[in-house]
Structure 1
């Protein structure tokens, strides 16, 4: 079975995951992989027009990896994970969404310049 999209982790997302213990990191990777094959808002949810989040609830903690879609090549659909957080309350912090939007803009601008 072919995944619905490929995933690229930007350095800040990798750093976030590297700081977690092995079991937590494994659970997040498992959920990311699963989200490539099933459409489930508990795993991958749209936050606004451009930003999505990979969602993992593990040991009573809510982990989020912010991401966006990159369809600029017209070939494979790519989801780019920008950074991650451990959520402290119900509401996703607006500053984290804004940060993901800024990273998205930089990523797409850089990609357009280097074509």
Structure 2
């Protein structure tokens, strides 16, 4: 199967995944890999012009990994996942979106 994009996890995502139990972590990784192959809003959803989220529901707990796109290389598209949360409210917390945008700005500044 063809991947539509590659995913790069920043350190905070690795720490978040490491803090979860094995089954939750495995489901999140499975859904992330599946999102690379199929277009499904239940797995990978656009939150605003820049910020997306990988979505996982496991044992009635909603997990979100926030991400943004890096399309600067013409040969491959990269999705950078910045951090993760256990979602406890209906709406995605604004501060999490803002955090992703801050990290994205720093990322592109560092790339220059």
With structure 1 as the length reference, what TM-score do the two structures score?
Answer: 0.96
Q: Across the two proteins, how many residue pairs are aligned to each other?
A: 112
CA–CA separation in structure 1 for the residues paired with 2:73 and 2:89 = 37
Correspondence for 1:76: 76
What displacement does 1:72 show? 0.9
CA–CA separation in structure 1 for the residues paired with 2:86 and 2:97 = 14
User: What are structure 1's unaligned runs of at least 5 residues?
Assistant: none
Q: 1:68-97, CA deviations, whole angstroms, 9 ceiling, x for partnerless residues?
A: 000012220000000000001110000000
- What SS does structure 2 have at the residue aligned with 1:90? coil
The yes-or-no answer on 1:48 pairing with 2:55 is no
CA–CA separation in structure 1 for the residues paired with 2:12 and 2:91 = 22
Correspondence for 1:97: 97
CA–CA separation in structure 2 for the residues paired with 1:2 and 1:111 = 27
CA–CA separation in structure 1 for the residues paired with 2:87 and 2:36 = 23
RMSD value, Cα: 0.6
What displacement does 1:110 show? 0.5
Correspondence for 1:34: 34
What displacement does 1:17 show? 0.5
User: What are structure 2's unaligned runs of at least 5 residues?
Assistant: none
With structure 2 as the length reference, what TM-score do the two structures score?
Answer: 0.98
Runs of 4+ in 1 over 6 A off after TM superposition: none
